[in-house]
Amino acid sequence: MGDWLKNAVFYEIYPQSFYDTNEDGIGDINGITAKLDYIKGLGCNAIWINPCYDSPMKDAGYDVRDYKKVASRYGTNEDLYRLFGEAHKRDMHILLDLVPGHTSEEHEWFLKSQKQDPNEFSGRYIWSTHAFWGSHDYPYIGGESERNGVYFLNFFKCQPALNYGWLNPKEDWQDGIDSPNAIATREAMKDVMRFWLDHGCDGFRVDMAASLVKNDDEEKTGTSKIWQDIRKMLDEDYPEARMVAEWSDPPRAIRAGYHMDFVLNHPGHGYSKLARDYYNHPEDNKDMDKFFTGQTGEDPCLTDHSYFRKDDGADITAFLKDYQEMYDKTKGKGYISLLTCNHDTTRPRFNMTPRELSLYYSFLFTMPGVPFMYYGDEIGMRYLNLPTKEGGYGRTGSRTPMQWKKGKNLGFSDASPSDIYLPVDWRDDAPTVEEEEKDPSSLLNTVRSVLKLRADNEDLQSDGSFESLYAKEGQRPFAYKRGGFIIVINPSGQEETVPVDASGRKVVWQIGNGQAEGSSVKAGPQSFIVFA
């Protein structure tokens, strides 16, 4: 795979909260352009932007009203085209967020689809043929349309499901995946992708990628066929374009045509059949939960045993077992994407100290695959307890404005504090970029430094080999090999002797203390040591 993902490190931007350039209190596209050098300076050479399209914002933009128009609060399409150009000048790449499974109930397609008279869009969404009947497996809405039928939802009430067909249709109103209606939906989505790719976008993060075909089987046979078809379009017409799935099942997502897939750290919110269909991960990934944030209960919660916690962390074995299996299945075919967190999950600072975070990120950025960092995690921004905004609910606290410097709105915006999108961290010790820049041992500078190590060494990038050297049940240290490097991590508060032979090697990067001693490694408390 000779492509730009080989050394890609992504930065996720929630546009409304990143940087406001016109004093209206809402982050904008020009704000992202203005901060490209900051992002590049961090060591991130690629960006994923959450939906920035015209929308009623009942799910913060995941309810798209017009796929081809930038929401006016973020600027214009021209602003976005300019951002693509400025990114490319810096050898950076930009993924937009594609929301293929549903639109807003205000999308023109839906407004036409809900009319009783048959028209071009009658089959664009999933409708039953009776105003009182739906299906037990999926949520639906009755009594809202002119049309004599109910329509199916993909997520919130405002997000009707687009019609990609059913795997084995059972009712006469259910289309098959190769039916004219299902094909028309698929082609419409390809047209949206072409539109942005033609304007310079480098690919997509795909929302709820496993959700397209209804009544799909466990292998996601139906949904996979659709993505394989879309991948064919990319390979033929946009060979540089890349897609990352929100699927959380890398072997299946990559088989379906994705270049990479996230391993999500969703806390366990009542894994219904619906959630399983959509994200396809819950039950299987419990150990991943434990590993990243440990949040196995309500969102967010403090009863966690994340591997990186000094005092009550778990061992690495549960995570490693899952990871190794995914890695073996996907190696050479596509990438696993580990992430600090995202706009749907609790910021890791919620239950980890900056030191714990520095170990966490150092691990993340020295693993294979393509890593993602959520804006603000590089300075350890907090999760804030806030009332819901634009359908955020428990997620709102992870979506607050970026903290650039001390002073008004922490440098996010010149608008009046009462007008900004969400409040900024109000505590005196709210971390900021400006302050962390001055402190050589800050989280921000640790991130920069480990990303520089990755950038300078192909062995530590996406394709470099990975081998576990030491991982034992009930033991805290973990050692692994990346190409010619040996890495030892000890998240505990005590010095540990790790039976890994690093004799004759040099320490090239470290947090805390550690050295080779005979045929083992002495790893100090909360340490991370890279031997070359």
CA–CA dist 222, 165 (Å, integer) = 9
Among residues 346 and 409, whose Cβ is nearest to Ca ion? 409
Considering only 4, 6, 7, 22, the residue that binds Ca ion (CB under 5 A) is: 22
Shortest Cβ 213–ligand GLC spacing (Å): 17
Range in contact with Ca ion (rule: CB under 5 A) among 23-31, 120-128, 202-210, 484-492: 23-31
Q: Which two tokens stand for residue 153?
A: 């939802």
Among residues 31 and 334, whose Cβ is nearest to Ca ion? 31
Non-local (6+) Cβ contacts of 429 within 8 A are: none
The binder of 35, among Ca ion, ligand GLC, none, by C-beta within 5 to 8 A per type, is none
**CA 258 → CA 93, 122, 254, 339, distances in Å?**
17, 30, 5, 17
Shortest Cβ 191–ligand GLC spacing (Å): 20
**CA 102 → CA 60, 151, 161, 162, 230, distances in Å?**
14, 12, 4, 5, 17
Residues of this chain that interact with ligand GLC (CB under 6 A) are 59, 62, 99, 155, 207-208, 246, 343-344
Shortest Cβ 127–ligand GLC spacing (Å): 20
- Terminal Cα distance for the chain, rounded: 25
Q: What is the β-pairing status of strands 260-262 and 242-245?
A: parallel
Closest CB to Ca ion: residue number: 28
Shortest Cβ 207–ligand GLC spacing (Å): 5
Nearest Cα residue to 305 out of 284, 287, 323: 287
The binder of 79, among ligand GLC, Ca ion, none, by C-beta within 5 to 8 A per type, is none
Among residues 13 and 488, whose Cβ is nearest to ligand GLC? 13
The binder of 344, among ligand GLC, Ca ion, none, by C-beta within 5 to 8 A per type, is ligand GLC
Nearest Cα residue to 285 out of 303, 302, 262: 262
Nearest Cα residue to 88 out of 195, 4, 194: 4
Question: What single-letter amino acid sits at 249?
Answer: D
Q: Give the other-Cβ count within 10 Å of 269's Cβ.
A: 13
Among residues 388 and 497, whose Cβ is nearest to ligand GLC? 388
Among residues 368 and 401, whose Cβ is nearest to Ca ion? 401
Among residues 220 and 476, whose Cβ is nearest to ligand GLC? 220
Q: Using an 8 Å Cβ cutoff, are 15 and 463 in contact?
A: no
Among residues 270 and 440, whose Cβ is nearest to ligand GLC? 270
Shortest Cβ 333–Ca ion spacing (Å): 41
Q: Is 26 in the site for Ca ion (CB under 5 A)?
A: yes
The binder of 258, among ligand GLC, Ca ion, none, by C-beta within 5 to 8 A per type, is none
Range in contact with Ca ion (rule: CB under 5 A) among 25-33, 93-101, 385-393, 480-488: 25-33
Q: Is 20 in the site for Ca ion (CB under 5 A)?
A: yes
Closest CB to ligand GLC: residue number: 62
Give bridge partners of residue 127 from the DSSP assignment.
151
Binding footprint of Ca ion, residue count (CB under 5 A): 5
CA–CA dist 489, 367 (Å, integer) = 13
The binder of 277, among ligand GLC, Ca ion, none, by C-beta within 5 to 8 A per type, is none
The binder of 99, among ligand GLC, Ca ion, none, by C-beta within 5 to 8 A per type, is ligand GLC
Non-local (6+) Cβ contacts of 14 within 8 A are: 27, 50, 343, 375, 399
Q: Using an 8 Å Cβ cutoff, are 357 and 348 in contact?
A: yes
Q: What is the CA radius of gyration of the chain?
A: 23
**Residue appearing with tokens 């492509």:** 3
The binder of 454, among ligand GLC, Ca ion, none, by C-beta within 5 to 8 A per type, is none
Among residues 24 and 287, whose Cβ is nearest to Ca ion? 24
CA–CA dist 182, 22 (Å, integer) = 42
Considering only 24, 66, 458, 459, the residue that binds Ca ion (CB under 5 A) is: 24
Shortest Cβ 45–Ca ion spacing (Å): 25
Nearest Cα residue to 527 out of 486, 479, 488: 488
Residues within window 127-186 making contact with Ca ion, judged by CB under 5 A: none
Among residues 20 and 261, whose Cβ is nearest to Ca ion? 20
Shortest Cβ 52–Ca ion spacing (Å): 12
Residue 89: HSE in the Cβ half-sphere, 13 Å Cα cutoff: 9
Shortest Cβ 3–ligand GLC spacing (Å): 25
Q: Which two tokens stand for residue 19?
A: 């940087």
Q: Say whether the peptide bond before residue 169 is cis (omega within 30 degrees of 0).
A: no
Among residues 261 and 344, whose Cβ is nearest to ligand GLC? 344
The binder of 513, among ligand GLC, Ca ion, none, by C-beta within 5 to 8 A per type, is none
CA–CA dist 138, 135 (Å, integer) = 6
Range in contact with Ca ion (rule: CB under 5 A) among 15-23, 132-140, 155-163, 205-213: 15-23
CA–CA dist 280, 10 (Å, integer) = 23
CA–CA dist 97, 302 (Å, integer) = 31
Shortest Cβ 150–ligand GLC spacing (Å): 20
Phi, psi of 436 (to 5 degrees): -70, -25
Among residues 269 and 472, whose Cβ is nearest to ligand GLC? 269
Considering only 10, 18, 28, 380, the residue that binds Ca ion (CB under 5 A) is: 28
Among residues 105 and 344, whose Cβ is nearest to ligand GLC? 344
**Residues interacting with Ca ion, by CB under 5 A?**
20, 22, 24, 26, 28
